[in-house]
Structure 1
Amino acid sequence: MAEKFNKTAINFSYVEKLNILIQSFQDRFSEFKKVKPLLDIFSNPFTISVENAPKSMQLEIIDIQSDQDLRNKFNEGDLLNLYRCIDKNTYKELRINQMCQLIWFYLYM
């Protein structure tokens, strides 16, 4: 009887520790949910749905998605090279997003 009680106590201990671990994981990575649309725009501005983008970026996304030269740069596979080619005056919001995502990446990774 005592052996069965100890196993139950141990199981509750694991459940409690797993619940704490799950909560810690959710707390730590909840920021990803907030920035996911911005990360999606950063990683591939050519496939993002304009409706899912922040209003301040929607016109720029429409413009960049219709720019074949920039699409070709993206298809070459070098994301940073694409952002080097994006005119900072024409695509202000996309450039700001790019900088924020790079800073966020270096701080949290």
Structure 2
Amino acid sequence: MPEIQLRELTESEFLDCSRGSMSDVTSAQQPVADVWPYVDLLDPRSLGVLAIRDVDYVYRDASQRYDHVVIATDTADVFLVVIVDRRARRVFGHRLLDLIFEYGLASRH
């Protein structure tokens, strides 16, 4: 088994994996890669949360290349998104998504 490399995606990298309309595939299929060995290596506190919970949703980009595994945290409206490269059948990277901040409803201090 290859060594897992943690990769926090920049906003630009994250957006590149999100082109076109996203489809909810949460219950559609089996995952092409197990995200939990990757997630287990992450330190929740270094991400700015206290705990990482369970998968809430899985979305697929319009190109069918990337799955976005949306994992709840202990903080409302803050999610860990793990991007799976479906062609490579492995985790591409992750990004913490703060929906309140992203949609301009609050500012970060």
Same fold (TM over 0.5): no
> What TM-score do you get using the length of structure 2 for normalisation?
0.25
> What TM-score do you get using the length of structure 1 for normalisation?
0.25
Q: Which has the higher contact order (CA 8 A, sep 6+)?
A: 2
Of Structure 1 and Structure 2, the greater helix share is in 1
